[in-house]
Structure 1
Amino acid sequence: MNALPRLDFIWPQLLWLLLLLPLLVLLYVWLLHRRKKVTVRYANLALVREAIGRSAGWRRHLPPMLMGLALATLILASARPTALLSLPSQQETIILAMDVSGSMRANDVQPNRLVAAQEAAKAFIAALPRNVRVGVVQFAGTAAAVQLPTHSREDVVAAIDRFQLQRGTATGSGIVLSLATLFPEAGIDLSQITGQRAMPRAADAPPSPDFVPVEPGSYGSAAIIMLTDGRATTGPDPLEAARMAAERGVRVYTVGIGTKEGETISFEGWSMRVQLDEESLKSIAQITHANYFYAGTAEDLKRVYESLSTRIALERKETEISALLAALGALLMLSAAGLSIWWFGRIA
């Protein structure tokens, strides 16, 4: 069972007001004691019992108890409490950066790594909220944006189905081109690091201001999900590319697929040794304040993408809940007043 969310307070000094509540309880007990003393002065005790008979028992104490709870709740609300809650994500764009190097034809993940990755990616896309745009970047020796961000799931699926295996693994190029796809007006120069031209600017876009780095992981409108089965063999340094993403606040979730120990794959008259570079993938995720996932089988890969789908749809955020507590306090206060009027004809 999950523990209750821990509360923090923006104005914790106001919590000292809770010390007034025991004084109010003592005042209530004193008033009850004083009332008993007053009633013994009446000669006709039967008349007294008839007058206060309806207020006897637990009903007499319930409205004051609810009023006390209302005051306590309102004091908590005034201290501006915050809690870590799972809320609908504000992410609007996801870039799938997928490895299409020759090693993806290995069949240690059935039916092979590429097909398993394609099927898992398509299931992931189908589970995303419809308001999320999806773009696709493929990378091997170079990187290419095969589908710009779109709401059309059919176009994204068609782009994934068109993957063609190539030689080389340029993990860093995949990250950099994903960033350029997310920020087409930023003028990210791809010519020196990926062998491609910079992304074109929109015709009516104003000149890009000087770039100012932001807090890693702070850009909540987009994320990159990168899947690969090998270590980088060409292109820019993946960790430098990850730092570029971190400076823009973009999280890069990394998924490693295939054999950790490495194996030799032969096809079309040549062979290659492939080994998953988990340390680099973990570092990329850590630098960008994201997560790394390992998928050793097709089922593992499906579960990874299901987990990512949940992370994309929901995000845990520190959220102020003063309004909720204030509403609860008002409800308790109205309940106390309503019960008092219903049972005793007065608010007392």
Structure 2
Amino acid sequence: MGYDVNFLWPELLALLLVPIVFAAWYIRATRKTTDTLQRYPGLTASLPTASKDRAFLRHLSPALFIAALTLLILAFARPVATVMLPTLHNTIILALDVSGSMRADDVQPNRLDAAKAAVKEFVELQPDSTRIGIVSFATAASVVQAPSRNHTDILNAVNQLQLQAGTAIGSAILISLNTIFPDLKIDLGTADFEPRAPDKNLRNPAANDPLRVDRSQTIVPPGSYKNAAIVLLSDGEATTGPDPIETSRIAAERGVRIFTVGIGTAEGQVVSYGGWSMKVALNEDALRKIASNTGGEYMYAATGQQLTDVYKSLSARFAYEERETEIGAILVGVAAVCALASALLALLRSHRIF
């Protein structure tokens, strides 16, 4: 994959005229020397044989010097490139929907079992340095595994997940945030209220905030907090708890990205259990909005294999990600090597650098 390179100080690129002029001067001087030797053949006959056989060394040393000068000028212009670098994530919260809709078998063998299988593979792919926490949500949300590097404990927690009633996506986001930031001061007693109408003052750090979240902390740009991320898997149909769109904005204010994974089909399926039945369908719009608010990404899985592939993709993303970074130091290093090689070749050829 090619990456664009930009310069923070592009005006310094005008200095590239210096190596161009030097190269033109060297070519002209070389041609003048060649013309002189052709005009006086006797001079050529008097040169040592070794000089004729290794004539290319005369040009290699100046070429390396010109290359070093060019690289230094490019480095002075402060080049910035988008490259793949190791991420800083050391905590990943997996929020899993265990509501009754996850009983649907439009994803084989059913949504919950497919999710468990995908999550287990995701956990196994994570490096030992990454802490993984598990949050399950139905009518309420709870931490079933605190962030840990022990894969055995994490997998055991996943195996023990059981279906329950209700879908509180907003509660899951708040609980996940509180797991990442224990000092966030979320009143968890308010995280299971019925959805309420949007309040125009909801995002103000007022005392009557319906979510009772301490919003006096400094607000940062969405997606700017790289030490942790939330991966939320659901069919997107919230039936209880606080508004998930509003709670996603709280995550955005803390810079935490939420990657949402949609499971199921848009046309839905009728699920029957214990004498009751309901139609469960995928609400992609809500999941897209949650991810968009936080600088994350929405991904869809229509089959168990697609779900596994989604988590594999996330695993790779959490290991490396595209980031803008200055690469001037690399150019300086290469320029130093070129300059040193140029000087050594000059010493070997004529026992002097100039």
Which position in structure 1 is the counterpart of 2:347?
A: 341
Instruction: Measure the CA separation in 2 of the matches of 1:123 and 1:137.
Output: 17
Contact 1:83–1:319 (CA<8 Å) still a contact in 2?
Answer: yes
1:104 to 102, 106, 113: 102
Contact 1:85–1:316 (CA<8 Å) still a contact in 2?
Answer: yes
Which position in structure 2 is the counterpart of 1:231?
A: 237
Deviations 1:40-72 (A, max 9, x none): 998963664339944874332121111111110
Deviations 1:132-183 (A, max 9, x none): 1111111011111111111111111111111121111111111111111111
Which position in structure 2 is the counterpart of 1:70?
A: 68
Which position in structure 1 is the counterpart of 2:319?
A: 313
Letter in 2 for 1:119: A
Q: Which moved more, 1:45-54 or 1:75-84?
A: 45-54
Which position in structure 1 is the counterpart of 2:219?
A: 213
Shift of the alpha carbon at 1:241? 0.8
Instruction: Measure the CA separation in 2 of the matches of 1:37 and 1:255.
Output: 72
2:136 to 138, 151, 160: 138
Which position in structure 2 is the counterpart of 1:250?
A: 256
Shift of the alpha carbon at 1:193? 2.9
Q: What 5-or-longer segments of structure 1 have no aligned partner?
A: 196-207
Change (3 A) 1:178 1:51: same
| Structure 2 counterpart SS, 1:108 | coil
| Structure 2 counterpart SS, 1:223 | strand
Change (3 A) 1:273 1:57: same
Letter in 1 for 2:238: A
Instruction: Measure the CA separation in 1 of the matches of 2:35 and 2:95.
Output: 81
Contact 1:136–1:159 (CA<8 Å) still a contact in 2?
Answer: yes
1:1-348 to structure 2, matched below 5 A, reads 2-3=1-2, 5-35=3-33, 45=43, 48-50=46-48, 53-54=51-52, 57-194=55-192, 210-348=216-354
Which position in structure 2 is the counterpart of 1:202?
A: none
Structure 2 length normalisation: TM-score?
0.88
Instruction: Measure the CA separation in 2 of the matches of 1:56 and 1:271.
Output: 87
Instruction: Measure the CA separation in 1 of the matches of 2:311 and 2:15.
Output: 48
Shift of the alpha carbon at 1:309? 0.2
Instruction: Measure the CA separation in 2 of the matches of 1:287 and 1:222.
Output: 16
Instruction: Measure the CA separation in 2 of the matches of 1:56 and 1:267.
Output: 87
Change (3 A) 1:212 1:143: same
C-alpha RMSD of matched pairs (Å):
2.2
Shift of the alpha carbon at 1:31? 2.8
| Structure 1 counterpart SS, 2:47 | helix
Instruction: Measure the CA separation in 2 of the matches of 1:88 and 1:170.
Output: 33
Shift of the alpha carbon at 1:295? 0.7
| Structure 2 counterpart SS, 1:211 | coil
Change (3 A) 1:164 1:51: closer
Instruction: Measure the CA separation in 2 of the matches of 1:98 and 1:33.
Output: 74
Instruction: Measure the CA separation in 1 of the matches of 2:244 and 2:18.
Output: 59
Shift of the alpha carbon at 1:320? 0.9
Instruction: Measure the CA separation in 1 of the matches of 2:307 and 2:49.
Output: 74
Letter in 2 for 1:262: G
Shift of the alpha carbon at 1:118? 0.7
Shift of the alpha carbon at 1:220? 0.2
Instruction: Measure the CA separation in 2 of the matches of 1:62 and 1:55.
Output: 14
| Structure 1 counterpart SS, 2:223 | coil
Deviations 1:297-318 (A, max 9, x none): 1101000000000111111110
Contact 2:192–2:240 (CA<8 Å) still a contact in 1?
Answer: no
Instruction: Measure the CA separation in 1 of the matches of 2:154 and 2:36.
Output: 82
| Structure 2 counterpart SS, 1:149 | strand
Counting matched residue pairs gives: 334
Letter in 2 for 1:305: Y
Structure 1 length normalisation: TM-score?
0.90
Letter in 1 for 2:85: L
Instruction: Measure the CA separation in 1 of the matches of 2:230 and 2:64.
Output: 50
| Structure 1 counterpart SS, 2:189 | coil
| Structure 2 counterpart SS, 1:318 | strand
Deviations 1:72-116 (A, max 9, x none): 011111111111011111101000100000111122211111111
